[in-house]
Amino acid sequence: MTLLCMATVAVATMARAAWATPAPADAPAVSASSSATPRMFSRDEITGIIDNTRRIVSPNGVDERIKLRIGGIDQWVSIRGRDRRNPILLFLHGGPASVVMPASYTFQSPWEDYFTVVQWDQRGAGKTYAANTEAQMSPGMTVDGMTDDAAQLVQYLRKHYGKQKIFLLGHSWGTVLGTRLAQQHPDWFYAYIGVGQVVNVRRNEEIGFAFALRKAKADHNQAAVRELEALMPYPGTGPMTIPRIGTRSKWEAYYGGLAYGRRDFSYDADAGALSPDYSQAELAAIGKGSLYTLHHLLQPLLSLNLDNVTAFRCPVILFVGQHDYTTSHELAEQWFDRIQAPSKHLVLFAESAHMVMQDQPGRFLMHLVTDALPFAQKAGDAAPAEITRGD
């Protein structure tokens, strides 16, 4: 699973966020296209440029970054779309506490033509962690408590935007919340969309470990082999620790089981460091929130097993990266075969690992539009389509 791998990434994000320093107060404004002598841009200038490129100008659009009172604490959401008539798509991020909002500008903007997209920093994560004390957040830092938080957010979205149903997309740890919510309230959702679906966490650790060790041996990477073999038997039957999971995660990610064709996740952390949605302090809170959240959720998640949780009363769509070893693609495919639902559909992304929406962003959007959106269009919950003409 992505537990410590994502926490490590979050700490890297915190460190990278510190690079930007403000430009001198008397420095002339220079655009990227200017012929003037180049200079270093401040972080504020760069985030301003990024924010301007994704600015929603359509009169029926929505662009809100708001703090909601959910589960007794302040929780942050971003709500963006170019037409309020489109269906809502709620994105449940992974981790736990691995927020997607900071780097969402790198892939999300085209989604906003078809959906009103909601990014939510969950309890203990990112902007929400920064907005509360740990003592305030701790009572709800359980799987049940965070599922309740998600349910309250869905209820707000349905009421505030006048929607009977929405789309629910869970990524990685977010699929734990998503699966529970879809089963508890199937009438709230056009479909549940699982990306990097969690099924059986201990079995997942075993498969990810075997992948990393196999790749390390084939690569004659003695350092990796030595570190991995020192963990054997893995995961074993005893308690799992953050260092043990971290070693497995490090080498699994190194061999492309997290981001296809990449040896680390720095590209996402670097992009997040330039997020228009985050202050420097909020970026620094990502790593702190990840470690805090793991303290509460690590052991409960290691016992999670959804092997027999297969009965759904709403449509189910799974997006599976064919090289995903962060949450095993094998387990997700086997689980899909056992699902009973009014409708089910699986898409295997041939050049993706765990980060499908970043590994193959065009194909990801295409399948959101062709496989998910029709459920809302049939109910009349979508803006009018384009008018096209031809011979």
Taking the CB of residue 227, how many other CB atoms lie within 10 A of it? 17
Tell whether 383 is covered by a domain: no
Quick one: which of 194, 189, 183 has its CA closest to 310? 183
pLDDT digits (tens, 9 = 90+) for 98-126: 999 999 999 999 999 999 999 999 999 99
Tell whether 249 is covered by a domain: yes
Tell whether 389 is covered by a domain: no
Bridge partner residues of 62 (DSSP): 81
Please give the pLDDT value at position 240: 82
Contact 94, 172 (CB under 8 A): yes
Contact 198, 1 (CB under 8 A): yes
Domain that holds residue 85: 3-21+40-377
Supply the pTM of this predicted model.
0.91
Tell whether 15 is covered by a domain: yes
State the residue for tokens 């997290």. Answer: 258
pLDDT digits (tens, 9 = 90+) for 190-213: 999 999 999 999 999 999 999 999
3-state secondary structure of 136: helix
Please give the pLDDT value at position 194: 98
Average pLDDT, the chain: 91
Tell whether 27 is covered by a domain: no
Tell whether 16 is covered by a domain: yes
66-90 burial, b at 16+ Cβ within 10 Å, e below that, comes to eebebbebbbbbbbbbbbeebbbbb
What CATH number does residue 49 fall under? 3.40.50.1820
Rounded-to-integer distance, Cα 168 and Cα 337, Å: 21
Tell whether 30 is covered by a domain: no
10-residue mean pLDDT profile of the chain (391 residues): values are 48 40 43 64 94 95 97 98 97 96 97 98 98 97 97 98 97 98 98 98 96 98 97 87 92 97 94 95 94 93 94 98 98 98 98 98 98 95 84 73
Tell whether 64 is covered by a domain: yes
Number of domains within the chain:
1
Bridge partner residues of 120 (DSSP): 77
Please give the pLDDT value at position 238: 73
